[in-house]
Structure 1
Amino acid sequence: MYFVNLNVFLLSFLSIIVQCDLTMPSGFSKIQWNHREKEETFMELEGLNFIDCVEQCLLRNRCFSVNYLRRKLHCELNSEAVQYYNQSNVIFNEDPSGYIYSHMSDWDANIVGKCANHNCGLNERCVVSKAKAEQKCELSDCGFVPVFLNADSVTNEKDTYIGIGSRLTFKLTETLLSEPKDRDFEMICQNDGVWSSSLTANSSDEAECSFLNQQAIIETLQLGSEFVRIPVIKEDGQKWVLIQRRCTGTVDFNRTMNEYKGGFGSLNSEFWIVEALSYFNGMMFSTWDEDRDYSTTSCAEKNGGGWWFRECHQANPNGAYGVHETWGISWLMTNNQWIYPSHIVLMVGKS
């Protein structure tokens, strides 16, 4: 009787083991130990077990694979890194010790229940409403990594992260507009799926040019698919973007086309702002090395700086400083009298 009960116990125990093997998710058999694919990580999550990490990936159409570090409960979600996935052609980063790598093609999407085969957008994730027990889509990331025309990322390995709450650090490019107090700044992926800057210049950072009484703040402006850090003045509800300032004669404005496109000078004194040309689509801008005006001579070369010249100008704000001639800083007034200002600011209204 004793041996019969023992046999029954052993059979029951084996039955439990067999049942567990049959219900184990298929992806476990294809896990790659001590591997980590880091080139396309777009989000990291903390405090998750491995299956939760896999599920978070399956809830997002952007996600194709995960890296998981068990000892820290650390989950990394990756977008597609190779065109055709197989276990032999994935390139992994150095020092993958302790990491688990798994591709979503190895898993049954049904483990996420009602969110299996969801149709959420690329920057969304599927969630199940507790009230109605139905799936819905909510924003999960900002869609792309911000690219600046006048700044470089200094976030190192996290410079591909785009998840809600991600923070990327940038440094203004030394060769373009630079202002020491605002050289390093952060971009944060907000809950509404939009990148925004966490830092602006302090209100005490007043321009050195005394004629400019308003205080400019440094803002991040999106121009198409890229961003740029620029000074902005707010007055009576209107926002004005400063694209040029002359006040000391310390900056040479007789520059090449590439320099005008990139911007130059200092935000504290004289400058020509990055991408100012984008505000004047359709008008031909000329510099001494690229003559695009209608004159038989080079207006830019003749007048000491770049501008939207025709034949040649009635305004020359980028001309030689301190010269009371039309090839210096000059402006033709409505009474047909030329003025030669020592201080000048160009601003563009921004809604």
Structure 2
Amino acid sequence: MAFIYCLSGQNIEKNIHYGKRILDALIDIVQGVSFIECTEECFSRRRCLSVNYWRSILLCEMNSVDQSSHLLSDEPKTVFADISLLEQHFVGGCRNHKCAINMKCVPGPFGTHRCEIQVIQRRCFDNTNFYRTWPDYKDGFGNFKEKTDFWIGNDVIHMLTKNGYTYMRVEMLKTDNEPLEAEYSHFFVGDESTKYNLTIRGFKGLYVDVLDCMTNKDYKQTDANGMKFSTFDNDKRNGCADYCRSGWWFHSCTCGNVNGLFGNKKTASVMRWMCKDGWNCPLKATRILLRV
């Protein structure tokens, strides 16, 4: 859910650069947001100093540098904003928060804030192999601090859900640049002794095309509730991890595969999610987030 604030009391236009962006400083992306929400996302991250916003595809790129230390490049489809030059209101204590770099600041009343670990998976750079072993998925791989894709680790996901981070959102961008989002009001992962058994319910699709790919009891193959985690070397569901080239809570091999291979073909092994225009909608970017 987006937080609301106003940009007012100044000439905002002079601090926004149309047709410009910063290159080679990307730390994170968010799909399907407005420009205002993009700047808000940057305000809530400790390392973010500026944003490139792609208007046509509603894509927010967050940068670790500002225009005082980095030259702007021409890009007719983007809007650049230096966060330090924008005014922020109604976001509690997040203006000068001290959250760790792998956490997100969430504003509270009377100038307070809390820090939430939120991103547990990111796929957008195509520079990290997700067809990996059980120990890799257990401990995590990739690096959230760098420009790499990553999986935070099943042990960490278990601890997060045990400590109340049980609301899950899956953000996706299709290969045709259309955004998809799926939310689940309850997401809980057991420890390794349960094979990271998944409890999940409460689907909500945030775009008209997205369908439930994890709890649809009308089509049993999509019901991941109660499933154990699978990797190719520790497969709990009939070879699905090897067939889909990923690790996941598979019920069958035919629905979502956000840890699959990059590609735009409608095949089982690529990154995909179930949507209304086809069973296998291929994806070019994904992000999985947890919150309290």
- Structure 1 length as normaliser, TM-score? 0.33
Q: TM-score, normalised by structure 2?
A: 0.39
Question: Which structure: larger Rg?
Answer: 1
Higher strand proportion: 2
